[in-house]
């Protein structure tokens, strides 16, 4: 970084023979560039993880391929998100229960979770640091005119949008993401900054246990090939106790922790009491009275009829 700064200094001094004053525009441009370098010098994005997913960017929507387990996970994670939000509100649209809710899908990949949330009426922003993932997601949503209006994708890391998105979103979803980030605490801090007071954060991830190593890596990757070998690193798995501690130390209140189980024979997910392998967590950011929240967003819906699909997923 020091070398970069010296380089900019040297370039400014050489400008116009180094004797004429540098214009305000040039100075401002240099300052902004250096500021950008500082802001991205420490990132939650792990470059090794990006290389893994780069090779699979074109396979997101192959329901029988490497992401088949994520496709089937929608059967439980989408109702979990939907019903949790509906249980926090008394008013919502019939047919579009999440109308009025602004959701940020962090690490959206090819849009596997963004699309069903958009179909529920939410306004979804999906971000992913891999441009190829965003290209795939954009192309797929373009087939549905309704989704094309409700979902927008951006090639970006979470920390890169913090400044422009302070307290913007009612809900953040980070599904199968935290076990891939380089700096988990910074990731959670950034989630807190872009989430509105009393907003909801939904996380699904893998526990760090001997059982999760056997099932998540040995069986899933090496034996059955459910996911490509090398997708996960056991050292980066996150125990729910550690995740809860990090969330609560950064202004969140953890409301729900549910165990999840994948059956490779049926290719389906189900809820379970034990969190020894996979789990889902819902946390709410603390906030002052009178400030907007997901509940407020749902309450502004035009229809007050209950949804036929509303219920408790867990």
- Two tokens at 225? 């090939």
Q: CB–CB of 215/249 below 8 Å?
A: no
Binding-site residue ranges for Mg(2+): 176, 179-180
Local structure of 164: helix, strand or coil: coil
- Two tokens at 165? 């998105």
What is the distance between the alpha carbons of residues 107 and 65, in angstroms, rounded to a whole number? 19
Beta bridge partners of 263: 268
Binding-site residue ranges for S-adenosyl-L-methionine: 77, 107, 128, 175
Q: CB–CB of 196/130 below 8 Å?
A: no
The H-or-E segment that residue 136 falls in is helix 131-141
Binding-site residue ranges: 77, 107, 128, 175-176, 179-180
CA 208 remoteness from chain centre:
20
- Two tokens at 82? 């939907």
- The strand ranges marked E within 248-309 are 252-263, 268-272, 278-285
């Amino acid at each position: 970084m020091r070398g970069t700064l010296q380089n900019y200094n040297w370039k400014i001094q050489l400008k116009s023979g180094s004797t004429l004053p540098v214009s305000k525009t040039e100075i401002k441009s240099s300052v902004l560039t250096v500021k950008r370098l500082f802001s991205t010098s420490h990132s939650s994005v792990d470059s090794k993880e990006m290389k893994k997913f780069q090779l699979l960017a074109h396979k997101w929507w192959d329901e029988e391929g490497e992401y088949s387990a994520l496709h089937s996970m929608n059967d439980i994670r989408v109702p979990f998100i939907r019903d949790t939000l509906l249980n926090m509100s008394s008013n919502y649209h019939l047919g579009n229960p999440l109308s009025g809710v602004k959701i940020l899908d962090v690490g959206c990949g090819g849009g596997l979770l963004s699309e069903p949330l958009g179909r529920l009426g939410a306004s979804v922003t999906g971000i992913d640091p891999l441009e190829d993932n965003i290209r795939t997601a954009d192309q797929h949503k373009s087939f549905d005119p309704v989704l094309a209006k409700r979902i927008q994708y951006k090639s970006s890391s979470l920390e890169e949008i913090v400044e422009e998105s302070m307290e913007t979103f009612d809900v953040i979803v980070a599904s199968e993401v935290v076990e891939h980030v380089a700096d988990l605490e910074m990731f959670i801090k950034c989630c807190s900054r872009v989430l509105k007071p009393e907003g909801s954060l939904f996380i699904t991830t893998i526990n760090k246990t001997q059982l999760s190593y056997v099932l998540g890596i040995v069986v899933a990757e090496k034996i059955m090939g459910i996911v490509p070998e090398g997708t996960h690193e056991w050292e980066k798995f996150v125990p729910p106790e550690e995740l809860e501690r990090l969330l609560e130390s950064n202004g969140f209140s953890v409301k729900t922790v549910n165990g999840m189980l994948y059956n490779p024979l049926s290719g389906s997910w189900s809820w379970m009491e034990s969190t020894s392998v996979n789990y889902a967590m819902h946390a709410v950011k603390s906030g002052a009275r009178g400030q907007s929240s997901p509940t407020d967003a749902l309450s502004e819906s035009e229809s007050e009829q209950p949804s036929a699909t509303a219920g408790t997923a867990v």
